Each structure stands twice: as C-alpha cells, then as structure tokens.
Structure 1
C-alpha cells in the first residue's frame, strides 16, 4: 500500500470567518482524498471546531497569539515532519516561514494570502507585517492567492516570482448551501410577500462598509423595504446609532450572529456586499448559490472576478451610497435569474478547489522527493 501523504494546515483558530471556513472545507476535502491532515491552530478555539471531521487531527499549539506560536510550531514540524505545511493569512504565514527555516525537516511550505496586502496600512504593526511579507514570502516554497487581484498584489508588492504564485479560488459547498437555502425563515419580514428584504452581513468593522449601506438604505423609496444586517463586531453599536440617526431603526434588523445564513439568503430579495476591500468575496458566491440576486462594491479584489465585471450582479464604486441605492433599486426591479446565479456559483464549487490543491501539493511533494 502506498504511503499516505501528510498535510498540516496552519491558522490562528476556528472562530467563524472566511479563512476558517476555507480551512474546514480544505481539511475535509483533502482527508477524503486520502491525505493525513492535521489542523494546526495557534489556539484551538472557535465555533467551527465542532464541525471538524473525525478524520482530521486538531493540533493545539496553545499560544496566546500568533507571534508566540513560532517555537510551538517549530516543535510540531520537527516532531511530525508533514509533507506539506499550508499556512493561511499574512501573520501566520510569517510565523510559518520562520518556523520552517528553523526546523530540521524536509517539509514543503506553501503559504496563502486571502487579502490584498495594500490594506495593511492602519498602524505601525500593519506596516511591519506588510514589510515582512514583502521580503519574507519568497522564502516559502510556493504561494497561493485566492483571486487574480490578490495574485497581482503579491507579485507587485513582494519579491515572489511569477512561477511561485498560483491562483486558487476559495472552495464553496454549493450543493449543501443550496439545500440549506430551501429552509424557511421564521421572521415576519420574510413571511410577508409584500415586503422586500435587503440582506447583508459579516463582521461589523470598517472594511465591510456597512455605514455606506445604511446611508444607501435610508435613500430607498418605499416603506415596504427592510434591511437585515447580520453579524457583530466593534462597529455594531455605532451602526445601531447610525440607523437611529437616519430614522430607519424600525426598518433595520440586527440579528447578531446567524449560524445558518443560507436560509436568509434563499429568502431575501437581494444580498449586498458594501466592502471597501476584499481578498475574494466568498459571501457573494454563497448568495448566488442560494439563487439570491447580488449587488457589490467594485472593490479590490474579488467581486468583479466573481460577478464577471457585472454580468452576474451590479457593481458600484466603493463608498458611493447614492450609486448603491440605484443598484439595489434596479436589482429589486429587475433581478438576475436564480438558476443563472446558481450555475455561476458552481464554477467555484469545493470539488474544483480541492482538485487544484491536490495537484499543487502533489507537485510540491514530488519536488521534495527529487531533491
């Protein structure tokens, strides 16, 4: 019997987020393809831990933050010597590069970037991390970008060579999402056919541009329109205050964290992504898989790729609440066909991404064996 290849996937935790869901799908998909998979976490915490399949081994480095996980990760590499260490997100990437250089293993290191590096400019720590990425990333054996825009940024802002960077879209469980989307939502707004519901959600932070969305919603004509803004974060209270100041608090619902947002997407009239920047924009694909029409800001770097420049959903300039209002109005009046949206979502199905990662990892393992 051929020896099973081993993959270690390194990230911060399994707190709900886009990268964490990708890690869950990737670890599960690779395990089903016959890999021995370790999910190596800086801190083994988070709501998604319970969803990790039994065939995936969770490794808790027990560090209090990413920076202090260097030595524990090095010890893990020396003890387990996986064929490939796959790291996710900028700061874990830098720690993975350092631990890999300090270890005594033949492990191949593949890092992945899930956002544009240019967004890291808010403080000195961000600038230091971006500088570290610019000079450190070429020390990895290979890099993965989750969109064409992120790949362009990696090549522009780091010393990585063209041949050292692959582009693989994040995996989406399209069939499972579509099944969940058929479940009913027990909320009066969704049960009333005369009510049009605009849906948005994610972590309540400046990147998501929910302040622009609220301003845009306040401009919409008609008392039959409602906005559901799920999620939470540091801006939640400020967003509630903004809704009150705009006089729309009775027409905006903040449900907090929703464990299964897909039933909401399946019942909504339009989903809006209002971000200032994205690495990919996974939620747009999830909404389309539910047959929900979408509107998005034309932010860097994923939405335009996902929507094919506006073919599958209207794109508006970042921060332009008037243009966003117009796009929402037009979409409510003339929505894209649900089946067309679903078919587009299948282009990003998890099976496509897993096959691409399998090919990439096999090539890296082959290179290691040729040395």
Structure 2
C-alpha cells in the first residue's frame, strides 16, 4: 500500500479539481491510501467520505502566495504536511496541481514531488500580461517554480510547448493523460434529472472566464442556421447572461448553474461546443464523446487536436473564428462521424492512468 498526497489550490468546480478527485478515488479502489491536501476550503464538488481531506489555510488567507507572504506560507505548508505525516505516516509520493500549490510545494522542498501541468503555460502568461505587469509577474513566479522539478503534463501538446519554448528547464517531463472512468461516466449519464429541458439543445460546460471565450461562442450561436437553445453549465450564471444579452442570444440561453453530475445534461444534448483560447486536455470534450454526444471545438493549444483525430478533426475550428465555429456547429448537427472508435479512449482509462502515477514512486 502506497500513501499518496494529491495537492491542489481548492476544490472549486473546475476540470483539474474533478481530475484530482477521480484519481484519488481510483487509487483508493486499488488499495492505496490517497490524501487530498487542499490549500483553501473553497469546495463546489462533494468531498469524498472515504478519503482524508486536509485544508491548510482558511478563507481569509487567499493571498498565501503573494510575494510579501510566500515565505510564511511555505513554512505553514511544511508544518501542515509534517503534522499530517506524523498522524498517518510518510507520503510515498506528492502530486502537486495548479500554480499556487506548485509554488508553495516546490519551495517547501517536499519529496518525491511531481508537478502536474494542466494548461498551456505560454497562453496563460499571454493572458496574464494583458492584466498588467504585477499579475504577469505573479504568474511568472509560479511558472518559474517548475524549474528543476519533475513535471507531468496532461497532453503531448503541453509537453512539446515546454520543451520548445525553454522558459522552464525541468528535471524531467512526461505526459500522463487525465484519467476517465468510462463505465462510471456512462452509468451516471443515465441518471434521471427532471431539470433537463425537453427538446434539442447545444451544451457548453465550463466556468465563465476569458479563456473560455463565451463571447466567441455567443457570436457563433447568433449566426447559426439551427436556432437551438444553448445550455450553459457554469457557476456564474449572472455573468454569463449579461454577456449573452450583449450578443443578442439571451433568449436562447438556459443557465441552471453548476451541476455536480453534468453527464445526463451532456448525454441529452445534440452537441457540445468548446470555444476556448487555450486548454490543457479539455475534460468536457472527452466526457461528451464518452456519453455519445458530438463535439465541436476550437483548435486551441492544447488537447483538442489530440482528442479529435481522423474524421473528427473536421470539427476543429480555428481560434476566435466566429464564422467557422458557427458553420462547424451547424455541420455537426447535420451529420457526425462514429464516436465509438476514439483512439484516445485506451490511453485515458482510469486504472491504467492510476497505475502510471504509482509507477512514479
């Protein structure tokens, strides 16, 4: 039995957070002892009953990674981990997820440590630069903390980017795809949910953030020949509706908010659309295909072109191209290739991925 610490900034309703919970559950099923080490107690996902969850900071300590506080935070993290290990035993492996956790865990010199990179580093930095030099510098600190570390990327695209750009010089780097429990997803997709609307609709799953480019999605929706409604599963419906109004599609938007089980919604949809500027390995694209629902996605860095291969590659749209996205969504609603033979399915199977992580020890 191996003791594995899976660390992350929070358990807010994002893709990385969902992957962390999925991996922890599978490690537990395989007879190991995963622990969730969560920096702040912001939780939208339900906490597992059979896996220990430890929180380091309280809600008031949101700036734990700020430059004037980081040294104190690193000492708190060291003390926190020591207390957990004193009670449960030493960890055989630390898996760190997201910027804040990566910054603090690398500086705390925890070992053996692997940092998991969930997104395009270069695209995140470009976006942050638009917010000003301070925001850019803060993110750059977190990215630079990956120097000399063992890295795991969730797609080949991210791995290639890190090697090519040479902004970071890791000690080692390898790709391990995110884990998916195909049987569980399909089973949960069959659960009844009376809130799901009757009739055909398109679906988008993801937080309302600039990266996700809801403006492009709404503009493409307005141009479509098929005038279907769009269901948005997100945790900020007010923000989404305000933007939808700007693009004249508010009357076609259904916004039920964050859903702990999105799979019945995805399965019932005629199409899932992703309009992002960048990703890592977009969880929702794979979940949709597992549920048998067609997808259209921007060909953004990284992940979509590793998922949509062969005939499905026709449903990749250039980034920020409203006309192409609109046309491809209309085309997907008319005719879509077979989704049973997705090449990536064999590389994301949950037990295989969990055992790959265990082999890092």
Name the TM tier (shorter chain): 0.7 to 0.9
Q: Size of the alignment, in residue pairs?
A: 341
Mapped to 2, the partners of 1:209 and 1:287 lie a distance apart of: 19
Q: Which moved more, 1:180-189 or 1:151-160?
A: 180-189
> Cα 1:310–1:213, aligned 2, differ >3 Å: closer, same or farther?
farther
Residue 204 of structure 1: how far off its partner (Å): 0.7
Mapped to 1, the partners of 2:180 and 2:53 lie a distance apart of: 22
Q: Which runs of no fewer than 5 residues in structure 2 stay unpaired?
A: none
* Matched residue SS, 1:186: coil
Partner of 1:350: 350
* Matched residue SS, 1:353: helix
User: Could you say which structure has the higher helix fraction?
Assistant: 1
Partner of 1:38: 35
> Cα 1:75–1:150, aligned 2, differ >3 Å: closer, same or farther?
same
Mapped to 2, the partners of 1:285 and 1:305 lie a distance apart of: 11
* Matched residue SS, 2:340: helix
Q: Which runs of no fewer than 5 residues in structure 1 stay unpaired?
A: 102-106, 363-371
> Cα 1:247–1:330, aligned 2, differ >3 Å: closer, same or farther?
same
Quick check: 2:41–2:55 contact (8 Å CA) kept in 1?
yes
Residue 33 of structure 1: how far off its partner (Å): 2.7
* Matched residue SS, 1:120: helix
Partner of 2:156: 148
Quick check: 1:185–1:267 contact (8 Å CA) kept in 2?
no
Quick check: 1:77–1:100 contact (8 Å CA) kept in 2?
no
> Cα 1:294–1:61, aligned 2, differ >3 Å: closer, same or farther?
same
Mapped to 2, the partners of 1:188 and 1:124 lie a distance apart of: 44
Residue 296 of structure 1: how far off its partner (Å): 0.1
2:91 aligned residue (82, 85, 88): 82
Partner of 1:173: 181
Partner of 1:288: 289
Residue 308 of structure 1: how far off its partner (Å): 2.2
TM-superposition CA deviations, 1:2-30 (whole Å, max 9, x none): xx332211111222211111111122222
Residue 295 of structure 1: how far off its partner (Å): 0.2
1:136 aligned residue (132, 135, 145): 145
Alignment of 1:1-371 (within 5 A): 4-50=1-47, 52-54=48-50, 56-63=51-58, 64-65=61-62, 66-67=64-65, 69-79=73-83, 80=85, 81-100=90-109, 107-118=111-122, 119-121=124-126, 122=128, 123-133=132-142, 135-140=144-149, 142-155=150-163, 156-161=165-170, 164-186=172-194, 189=197, 191-192=198-199, 196-223=200-227, 225-233=228-236, 236-308=237-309, 311=312, 314-340=315-341, 345-360=345-360, 362=361
